[in-house]
Amino acid sequence: MTITITAFERSPDGGKGLARDTRVRWALEEAGQPYEVRLVSFRAMKEAAHLALHPFGQIPTFEEGELALFETGAIVLHIAERHPGLFPADANARARAVMWMFAALNTVEPPILEIVTVKFVEGDKPWKAERLSLVEDRVRARLTPLAARLGDAEWLDGGFSAGDLLMVSVLLRLRPSGLLNEFPSLAAYVARGEARPAYQRAFAAQLAINAAPAPPAPLLSAG
């Protein structure tokens, strides 16, 4: 059955891999699963056809036969459950991989997203600098124990898993802030993730779309 995911027709990051379809592409590449991509404009994301797939009008989505999913974490979990490559065979190790997936999305990512909010949504506020400093400290408060737990290990719990895929993806978003470099072991962990051939293929695929010349204006609103 063909797997189809959705991605930005034009990613605001210009193809630096930060939009969440890269996480799904990476999971599919690790699992060796071919997939097709349907590109959606910001306008099409809020139209009925896409809202039927994603109630919040966002990307990415995942379709395979009669199954349609939204939420990156749920999609990566589904891929990891159905195909080898992202979960260990041992049931307890697998439970811990799921734990790290949740830790990435529920514990580490929220303060990182706050940095994005301060910089890009609240950038004109007089209290921006003060708030940014507070939020950066909240990020440090997550990265310090994460680095301690990783220690000098290659991955969070034995071999590479879906937990590492999501944790690396979340930490990647920190790079522009410079905060990642305060934690050399985490910077090296992210670099190991990015060096994986599956990540390289995923990154290249989304970059190819964003590096292509913009379509003519009438197509910009097409789904």
Scanning 9-17, 141-149, 187-195, 196-204 for contacts with ligand GTB by CB under 6 A, the matching segment is 9-17
Q: What mask, x for binding ligand GTB by CB under 6 A, covers residues 56 to 85?
A: -xxx-----------xx-------------
Do residues 101 and 164 touch, judged by C-beta distance below 8 A? no
Q: Which amino acid is at 23?
A: R
> What tokens does 49 get?
């056809």
> Is 194 one of the binding residues for ligand GTB (CB under 6 A)?
no
> What tokens does 216 get?
């003519």
Dihedrals phi, psi of 53, to nearest 5 degrees: -90, -40
* Candidate list 3, 27, 44, 45; residue touching ligand GTB; CB under 6 A: 45
Kindly report the number of other CB atoms within 10 A of residue 56's CB atom: 9
Q: List beta partners, residue 39.
A: 7
Task: Select 78 or 185, whichever has its Cβ closest to ligand GTB.
Answer: 78
Closest-CA residue to 102 (of 170, 149, 202, 190): 170
> Is 146 one of the binding residues for ligand GTB (CB under 6 A)?
no
* Candidate list 4, 13, 177, 182; residue touching ligand GTB; CB under 6 A: 13
* Candidate list 5, 18, 156, 186; residue touching ligand GTB; CB under 6 A: 18
Scanning 13-21, 77-85, 137-145, 208-216 for contacts with ligand GTB by CB under 6 A, the matching segment is 13-21
Cβ partners under 8 Å of residue 221, min gap 6: 41, 43, 44
> Is 19 one of the binding residues for ligand GTB (CB under 6 A)?
yes
